[in-house]
Structure 1
């Protein structure tokens, strides 16, 4: 009987006898036939240890490949953990900030306008000094005023029909009826009855139902800007106003917190008075949202958290305003900053209307009424009708 294996003349070549094995078994793909069909010579010369016998030089038990595979799995696992941690951080930061926001009752009692199409929000800039230190008051030029008033009143409309969002300034000196009081400047409603009366006044003057309320306080303006490392603003002309604490030169520049606050507050240096200030307020808010949503903020963890924390300490929301509604306001502001929304002032007929309350802003009744009707019906607008004052 011929042994299963026998050496040939070469120490590294073997004859493998497969004659008694069942057909299809025991044959190597690299075997070469000898004198008959069932005998094969398997050449193992110059093959590395652990070779599969197919010439590849690396088999499934190749010790050299094991560390590489293990290292690859560890790297993939580490990347996966980092991605999950980053996503968790991105979710936790706004949620944590949301829990620290101050809430107020902003829903008026009694009859309110019927619902229209789309959703309307009221965005308020308050000059309340609450929470500011004496040093901050001096820095922000806020040493003389007491109580709280509104420096900016902005109506934000988010469409249900895919139309561009609208942000419409209602100048704070607008002369309108205040429920329970006689006619007065619209910001007096905030002084008389806080957010609830201000919302009621806006609803009464516009005929639009206000769904959500968002207010940013005096100090909040500056801290939010500083958390972003400043905002880019094109100053339309030289502005020097000791009361607002600014001395700005004309031109595009990056403004820090105090300068940005003075930029949106001053009206003594603006030939258009309250109307010019309303334009600058919308310009500023759009610049803030553009910077806040940029990769340089969102993708840098400490900047992202700093901005969120500053916003949470500077914001006041209506009790019924949801996180989704607050996000809708910010997204509308961002759209406007990107040129995908409409920003304007309510039509004006007289920017220096004489009243018992002093020089006021009189709306163009016909154009304003038509504008608010179009907003309530969620019609697409490419421009706001202009009045004599704008």
Structure 2
């Protein structure tokens, strides 16, 4: 630094402090503020401060406040803060070393938004490789129409199925078979179905009669009478009532039981069975030749196991011994034939076996889940059955479901063969009364009364 360049140092005020009011333009004097060292009297001799360890020699700089306006106590120019080695001033005082000042801390704007971080090109962590990415909004939008479409399709399928069941229910042939009469038997435990097989050929054409070997007999007679009982606590039962059982026909005297159907139709047959057995009939179903073969073909045939070969030209069948699948024509001949040693008594055994096998096949999942089998089955059932006015297709479905689990097949016990005005007949015995009394009371039938053979 040259001699001409004199550092800018505040010069001390000369003379004693004024006692009067402050003059205009001079700074106002007052008591020292808090935390500020009073100014040293310039008239007093200079007394240096003793040096201290860790500090430079010389007195500490006066306490000043940066930013004070010029002319106020504590003002110090910025240049004085940067002067460390200044020469002596004209006042004779040694130059004071400027204190070391640290730079002011940077101003941080906390409200300023943080700039986005650049994408980091690094492989994902091992845990992230197996984690599925979060579903995007577009993917969720796509799922909603798919779910809505599936729900609509399910609703259409349910409504369509219900609509088809209602349609087929209206197509059932109905007859007034369970009409009330004076002194009718009251309700009994469980559910009782009366199934009747008729030999009516009214629904068959001449070609169909020749193909099925049904003959040309006119009229309607019953060849098969079965009572199905379930819901009283035990196993379901399929009970064959022999058509030659000699009973009292209400209003017509004693006859074979199938004569009631020929005389008064389904209504008189139901009344005859109820008055003689004491069992209340809840539902009635009649199946004829027409549609029976289609019903069997709809489920893909019925497998039957024969102990001996059957050859009956009158029934139109020639079956070998062993297990085999019978089609509609063969099944119709199998349930009609009486080419056995015990004739009708052996035939009812085959009819019960075939009935149980048909119900099991009709309620199998391979039939229910296959629309090409299920709906032809329903159509064949509707075309071949005649039910009471109060029966519906869901009652038939419940009947089939009850018989799918290995039912007990039994023939009505009787008092033996007798000769009557109607020819050879089967007498009504005490075992017959005890058998039907157990069913009417909802009790288990005694084992000695169960006859599985003819």
- TM-score, normalized by length of structure 1? 0.79
RMSD between aligned residues: 2.8
| Residues 1:97 and 2:168 aligned together | yes
Q: Conserved in 1, the CA contact under 8 Å of 2:295 and 2:381?
A: yes
Paired with 1:59 and 1:184, the residues of 2 have a C-alpha distance of 83
Matched, 1:375 2:439: yes
Give me the whole-angstrom Cα distance separating, in 2, the residues matched to 1:192 and 1:57: 78
Give the conservation status (yes or no) of the 8 Å contact 1:342–1:383.
Answer: no
C-alpha distance in structure 2 between counterparts of 1:328 and 1:382, whole Å: 27
1:248 equivalenced with 2:313 (yes/no): no
| Conserved? CA contact 1:348–1:387, under 8 Å | no
1:329 maps to 2:399: yes
> Aligned-pair distance for 1:216?
1.2
Which has a greater percent of strand?
Answer: 1
Deviations 1:9-35 (A, max 9, x none): xxxxxxxx86126xxxx6xxxxxxxxx
Larger radius of gyration: 2
Q: Which residue of 2 aligns with 1:290?
A: 360
Task: Give the whole-Å Cα distance in 1 for the aligned partners of 2:425 and 2:453.
Answer: 12
Rate the CA distance shift 1:320–1:312 in 2: closer, same or farther, 3 A.
same
Aligned counterpart in structure 2 of residue 170 of structure 1, from 224, 241, 249: 241
Q: Secondary structure at the match of 2:224?
A: strand
Higher relative contact order (CA 8 A, sep 6+): 1
- After TM superposition, list the pairs within 5 Å mapping 1:25-36 onto structure 2: none
* Residues in 1 aligned to 2:221 and 2:207: alpha-carbon distance in whole angstroms: 21
Does the 8 Å CA contact 1:93/1:308 hold for their aligned counterparts? no
Q: Classify the secondary structure of the residue corresponding to 1:348.
A: coil
Distance 1:209 1:154 in 2: 14
1:125 paired residue number: 197
- The CA distance in 2 between the partners of 1:165 and 1:46, in whole Å, is 75
Question: Partners of 2:369 and 2:289 in 1: how far apart?
Answer: 28
Q: What CA deviation, in whole Å up to 9, does each residue of 1:242-288 have, x standing for no partner?
A: 11111111111111111001100101x22222121111111111111
Find the counterpart in structure 1 of residue 258 from structure 2: 187
- Answer whether contact 1:127 1:150 (CA < 8 A) is retained: yes
Shift of the 249–57 alpha-carbon distance from structure 1 to 2, 3 Å rule, reads: closer
Choose which of 392, 410, 417 in structure 2 pairs with 1:344.
Answer: 410
Structure with bigger helix share is 1
Q: Does 1:151 align with 2:217?
A: no
SS at match of 2:204: coil
> Is 1:43 the equivalent of 2:117?
yes
2:260–2:272 CA contact under 8 A, matched in 1: yes
Report the count of equivalent residues: 340
Query: How much has 1:197 moved relative to structure 2?
Result: 0.8
Match of 1:306, SS state, is helix
Which residue is 1:10 aligned to?
none
CA deviation map 1:100-132 (0-9, x unaligned): 001111135332123322232211111111110
Of 99, 107, 110, 1:19 maps to 110
| Of 240-249 and 203-212, the range deviating more from structure 2 | 203-212
Change (3 A) 1:89 1:102: same
Q: Distance in 1 between the 2:311 and 2:212 partners?
A: 14
Change (3 A) 1:85 1:251: farther
1:360 counterpart (407, 422, 425): 425
Residues 219 and 44 of structure 1: is their aligned pair in 2 closer, same or farther, counting only changes over 3 Å? same
Query: Hey, what's the Cα distance between the residues in 2 that align with 1:295 and 1:388?
Result: 29
CA contact (8 A) 1:103 1:317 kept: yes
**Aligned mates of 1:42, 1:159 — CA distance in 2:** 76
Per the TM alignment, residue 349 of structure 1 is displaced from its structure 2 partner at its CA by: 3.1
Residue 66 of structure 2 aligns with which residue? none
Q: CA deviation at 1:227?
A: 1.3
Query: Partner of 2:32 in structure 1?
Result: none
Between the aligned partners of 2:400 and 2:249, the Cα distance in structure 1 is 28
What is the 5 A alignment of 1:139-288? 139-160=211-232, 162-267=233-338, 269-288=339-358
8 Å Cα contact 1:150-1:190 kept in structure 2: yes
Structure 2 CA distance for aligned equivalents of residues 289 and 58 of structure 1:
52
User: Does the aligned pair in 2 maintain the 1:163–1:380 contact within 8 Å?
Assistant: yes
Mapped to 1, the partners of 2:328 and 2:222 lie a distance apart of: 19
C-alpha spacing 1:57/1:80, structure 2 compared with 1 (3 Å): closer
Alignment partner of 2:182 out of 110, 133, 141: 110
**Alignment check: 8 A CA contact 1:231 1:287 kept:** yes
Once the two structures are overlaid, the 10-residue window that deviates more, 241-250 or 317-326, is 317-326
Offset, 1:385: 0.6
The gaps in structure 1 that reach 5 residues or longer are 1-16, 27-39, 49-53
Q: CA deviation at 1:326?
A: 3.3
CA contact (8 A) 2:411 2:452 kept: no
